[in-house]
Amino acid sequence: MKTVILEKPGRFVLTDTDSPTAPGPGEVLTKVRRIGICGTDIHAFRGDQPFFEYPRILGHELAVDVVEPGPEVGNLKTGDLCAVEPYLNCGNCIACRAGKSNCCTRLLVPGVHVDGGMREFMLLPANKLHLSGRLSADQLALVEPLGIGFHAVGRANPQPGESVLIIGAGPIGLGVVAFALLRCCRVLVTDVRAERLAFCREHFPEIHTIQAGENALSGIQNACNGELPSIVFDATGNRRSMENAVSLTASGGRLVFVGLVLGEISFNDPEFHRKELTLLASRNARGNEYPAIITHIEKGEVDTAPWVTHRASMSSLPDIFADWVAPESRIIKGMLEV
């Protein structure tokens, strides 16, 4: 079967690999239909993803068709189109026992820690496939990145009328925006990139966009009746942004780090203490959140169609990827068809 392998930083190759064997109990043989490209893939390509092992088959934002359900798989049949929850958890550790499959101590993410979906066929656990009878393959491939935002919003649990600031308007930040709006919050977004703010204004006309930088604080206060937002999500993965986010959060508020930075961060403890902030990490999403995300898309409450700015066949990836990730490409979401 056709397979794209990231051999080493900067080098994708299109090759042939053996098709998977027949599915075992609880497994499903699937045909990969769509693969979304995200920051993790870009970091792996650039070689700045620490502890990343090469060669690796990337691809974790997946829509797949069921080809053959294995024994003991009752809920899926041939032809079913599904989103993939790419978080293979152990089921036994302290996090799994508490229902926190997203932060399993032995978590394996296909496309990151083990081989992912840039190939024609894949064996996947049936319990990681989330069916929709109505969504397109594109929509199902975007459930995973949307899930990051859905889970992050759930961590903060905003109440109607609260002011929410999202720092960073990439695909993850856009997901946070979409689900914060569904909670009837006043939503503010900042980003250093003006074109990303313009994209937000076009697709979410009810939000406030504020250029990141020196005047951001006054812009934020102006949008919040002179106060600060009671919830701040940082989706930048930028150390300085995350450190500064403490000063943008209202007293008594919650600060959620959706992105991560590979290293240490620090902030002023008296300010953190004086405000009695709640600091939350947010990682991945949980399987039981997938049906809710799919329902929101089915109802048209979240529309990810405009996010797909770049599209190509999987086979052409080795030729086009360097162009996609060049700064001038203004990519939001790249989508591969298999």
Residues contributing to the site for Zn ion (CB under 5 A): 38, 89-90, 93, 96, 104
Least separation, in Å, of the C-beta of 321 and Zn ion? 15
Least separation, in Å, of the C-beta of 37 and Zn ion? 8
The neighbour count for residue 184, using CB atoms within 10 Å, is 12
- By beta-carbon proximity to Zn ion, the closer residue of 38 and 122 is 38
Least separation, in Å, of the C-beta of 221 and Zn ion? 33
d(CA 207, CA 201): 7
Least separation, in Å, of the C-beta of 179 and Zn ion? 17
Tell me which H or E stretch contains 309.
strand 308-313
- By beta-carbon proximity to Zn ion, the closer residue of 99 and 213 is 99
- By beta-carbon proximity to Zn ion, the closer residue of 28 and 96 is 96
- By beta-carbon proximity to Zn ion, the closer residue of 141 and 250 is 141
d(CA 313, CA 73): 31
Residue 332 phi, psi (nearest 5)? -105, -60
Least separation, in Å, of the C-beta of 38 and Zn ion? 3
d(CA 215, CA 171): 24
d(CA 103, CA 155): 13
d(CA 332, CA 283): 21
Least separation, in Å, of the C-beta of 322 and Zn ion? 19
What is the DSSP pairing of strand 254-257 with strand 278-281? parallel
**Residue indicated by tokens 């043989």:** 29
- By beta-carbon proximity to Zn ion, the closer residue of 90 and 217 is 90
- Tell me which residue of 186, 144, 142 sits closest to 162, measured CA to CA: 186
- By beta-carbon proximity to Zn ion, the closer residue of 38 and 277 is 38
